[in-house]
Structure 1
Amino acid sequence: MFTKTLHLVLACAALLMVHRSTAQYSNYIEPMQDIRGSSGINFDFGTNTFLGDLGGTKGLGKPFAKDFNSKTIRPYLGVSYTYFPYKWLSVKGGLHYTLVTGADSLITNKQGNARGRFDRNLSFKSGIEELSAEVEWYPLQLIPRFEEARVRPFIGSGIGLFHFNPKAKLAGKWYDLKPLHLEGQGFTEYPEQKNYKLIQPYLPITMGVKYRISNSYFISLSGCFRKTFTDYIDDVSTTYIDPNLFDKYLSPANATIAKQLYYRGLNGENSTLWPRGYASKDSYTSFFFTITYLFDNRRGYDYIGN
């Protein structure tokens, strides 16, 4: 699915660029136009990394940059629509796709709490589909002398929804983790453990800089951090449970799988009193390059030559 989506986004971006370049003549010069009222389509290509309970660096698992691990970097791509009601403000709605992954086996500095995380030996992966609406603010364009500047730093925020589905590998096969209730979600014996939803809201915080190549094109470099409201992107959050309860609540097949996946520690017999996760919200962060094609709203060319 990811490969097909990537090919489609690349093809659309290439077609727009070829169309625009063949429509221009070398003896015409485009004056920079007022961007107010313009709209366009954005193609994003970049990388993404997961920040959660699994993997990371020394100490406890934390969100944001503390637990960055280059081995969890995965591709990130998407398409969005932008409208500029003002020179200093744009609104955007988009669809994006990425992957997240994490593994305790990736921890290289095994000091202190990181040793316990390494011995925990859990791992996961998940595809993520996003739908978002954002507002981007261009502070430089509030200064009259920079209104039509080609370089446009910006900061953005908004709201979005993302769909995820954590999986873990066992004997060469990937299994969906939510139906296995590995931390007793929904079990009467663990009333504090609530079932989580695979569609969740998030708040994006984006920073970057755009460069206006012409009336028709922007290029951008951006980073996006997401504030989420779930600790279950990796299906790890609280404590181990009594494995005998899997037989009570799950089908025999699922109970067998759950008993093998809920605890995979390297240090022998586990205790239901040990922490399995650290109850801080998961997140993921993207860095990406954007090509923006502005739809043709020009009033004409300045002509030079014969």
Structure 2
Amino acid sequence: MKKLITLVLLLPIFGFSNLDSSESKNYWKYHERIDEAEKLICDEQFEEALSIFREVFSSYDFVFLKDYKTAAQIAFYLGETKHAYDIIRNGIEAGWELKSIKKNEFLSEFTKEPEWKLIEEEYPDLRKKYFSRLDEITRGNVHEMFKDDQKMAFGTLFRIGEKAQNKYLTNKFAPHSENQYQKFLKIIDTQGYPGEQLIGNNYWMSTILSHHNSITTEYVKNDTLYSSIKPKLLKAIEKGEMSPYEFALIDDWYIAVSSNRKQTGYGFLNSPLKSTLLETDQLRQNVGLRSVEQRNKLVEIEKKTGMNFYLPDWISGEIKIE
């Protein structure tokens, strides 16, 4: 639980399509195509990768912000400046903030061009478009749930010793978390999963659910709430409501805590073992995540090109294989 609290404190917050209408509503296909683009990036086939991004962007009504961020940089890298600025505009409509763009060292030289001044002028209107698609009521409710959860979680830090912490988690945090679950069920059953697509934030709810899965080993082993909502979460990935990374973090906590860190997970909380790497990669593939090797290759390309692919930052750099 203390490790998860620390994790939360570190969290920041075109072309023609060949996908038919049924595929374009299925985000398993979306993540499959993005994975193909990333493999091309790993092989430094940037033009081919950008072509896939264009296809995906024109095929889906909702695009995850991280993919706009990656595609914009690739377009600049290839010298397709006009296209890159257009992608940045799309990214701003998807929630990319000016301060975040300016912090990207690779993009810094492009913020000095005349076209950038136009983007700064358009920013307020683009930002309004972003907020106009969000469910502000649900966003506010989930944010309050998140703040309440953080207050309860911090209570663990003031208990000295494992026995006192476990008593607090079992007697105080668990009932609170179960109440949070009931609120969550109402939201996902009526509005959908409250992630990036619905509320413009992809960690408030995943943090709440991760907290639940990290109470104590005894509690998590006997818990039935998570197993009951897991199919709903997988359905939310299929509908584009939930990022695979959100699910993987939640599920990784369940696997780690319920097995006392003995069972193979996704490689985020515990470094993957060479002997079980295939099992780790299968877990990742099942939910639309890149393999460990692909993640590490992308880190290499970042170092070589100066681009930033916005890989999950609860692990810095490459995932070490033990």
**TM-score band, normalised by the shorter chain?**
under 0.3
**Greater share of residues in helix:** 2
Q: RCO higher in 1 or 2 (8 Å CA, sep ≥ 6)? A: 1
**Greater share of residues in strand:** 1
- TM-score between the two structures when normalised by the length of structure 2: 0.21
